[in-house]
Amino acid sequence: MELQGKRIVLGVTGGIAAYKAAELVRLLGKQGADVQVAMTAGATHFVTTTTFQALSGKPVFADQWDERMPNAMAHIDLSRQADLILIAPASADFLARIANGLADDLLATMVLARTCPLLVAPAMNLQMWENPATRRNVARLAEDGVKIIGPASGEQACGEVGAGRMLEPEEIVEEVLAFFAPKVLAGKKLVMTAGPTFEAIDPVRGITNLSSGRMGYAVARAARQAGAEVTLVSGPVAFDPPQGVERIPVRSALDMHAAVMARAADADIFIGVAAVADYRVANSAEHKLKKDNGGMPPIELVENPDILAEVAALPNAPFCVGFAAESRNLEEYAQNKRRKKKVPLIAGNLIQDGFGGDDNRLVLFDDAGVHPLTPAPKSILARQLIEHIAHLTGKL
């Protein structure tokens, strides 16, 4: 319920992508938003007002002269009640009209009369998106402070392939969440790690751990929503990176070390969430080992580099944050790790409290002491961690 209490006017314009707006209403409502739908006449040719009324639980407005408003000023009343106006899909025609200040229907008039921010998610044919007139209109809207989200590239309803597809509803919701999040890390470059590493014994066997990567990906998402430019060096996980986050996929601890060290010197903040294997196999086999050749040979282990400690030791090192997952003695082990690696902040948890799950219990350890966080979903804990980092770095 990350949008609890937020009032959003969703404007739907004419285009085949209008059908996706129905799912968008549902997802925004699931996040706690109060969604009011307003449609252009063209949009009603693709999806009915009844559909949106059923999903939002509110009457839908599509007529500038709608008499349901006592003062006949729906364009004023609806926009004044909103924390955000979101246009999805935004057709080429609608972009042209609002870029030039036209107010010839309810939705365009509402945009012109608004006192709240405006987000638009364009959706149109490839050639229409690339047309110089559309590019000028989009540039003018951006100059006027309108946030443009998308479009994506892919197969279009007309059969062509290229830029112009509206972002998927889940992606638009992520952009809305990011819009409302306090930008406590605006302008900061953040490099982080997440997930497990895999140390090969042979081409099919290896040493790894049970880390799902969920906590690290939640932190990456929260950091991006807080305004940071996020690079996520990730071991093998089963899900996609957060919207707007650059992911560098790696497999082994050495791969992760190389990827991090190539980027850490330019970072303002480094967060090591990954469960990096302490050791790798020194004598990994080129081919699959067979039991019928006298049994498995002894496995020789060699220590992997300590990524967090090496980043913290860099000249002009970024602000470093480590993670400590323990089965016992959390405070003792986490504080020892913080002092040994010389980092200002460690986030610790007991593995029985959230290892691999959606919820967790975090305790933050810094120079000021011990800060236990209330058990919560990892998405919430990630935001609290980012706020704590911002506080320690002077951003709050």
Q: Please give the positions annotated as active site.
A: 158
Helix axes 92-99, 106-113, angle to 10 degrees: 40
Alpha helices in 114-213 (DSSP H): 126-130, 132-143, 169-180
Residue type, 77: D
How far CA 358 is from CA of 4, 277, 317, 339, 377, in Å, comes to 20, 22, 32, 29, 6
Helix axes 214-225, 169-180, angle to 10 degrees: 60
How far CA 5 is from CA of 8, 30, 106, 311, in Å, comes to 10, 12, 25, 41
Q: Tell me how far apart the alpha carbons of residues 124 and 92 are, in angstroms, rounded to a whole number.
A: 6
Q: Tell me how far apart the alpha carbons of residues 254 and 302 are, in angstroms, rounded to a whole number.
A: 12
Question: 125: closest CA among 99, 159, 95, 98?
Answer: 159
Q: Tell me how far apart the alpha carbons of residues 29 and 291 are, in angstroms, rounded to a whole number.
A: 57
Q: Tell me how far apart the alpha carbons of residues 31 and 321 are, in angstroms, rounded to a whole number.
A: 30
| CA torsion, ordered 262, 265, 266, 271, to nearest 10 deg | 90
Q: Tell me how far apart the alpha carbons of residues 296 and 123 are, in angstroms, rounded to a whole number.
A: 58
**101 CA to centre of own chain:** 32
**Contact (CB, 8 A) for 61 and 33:** no
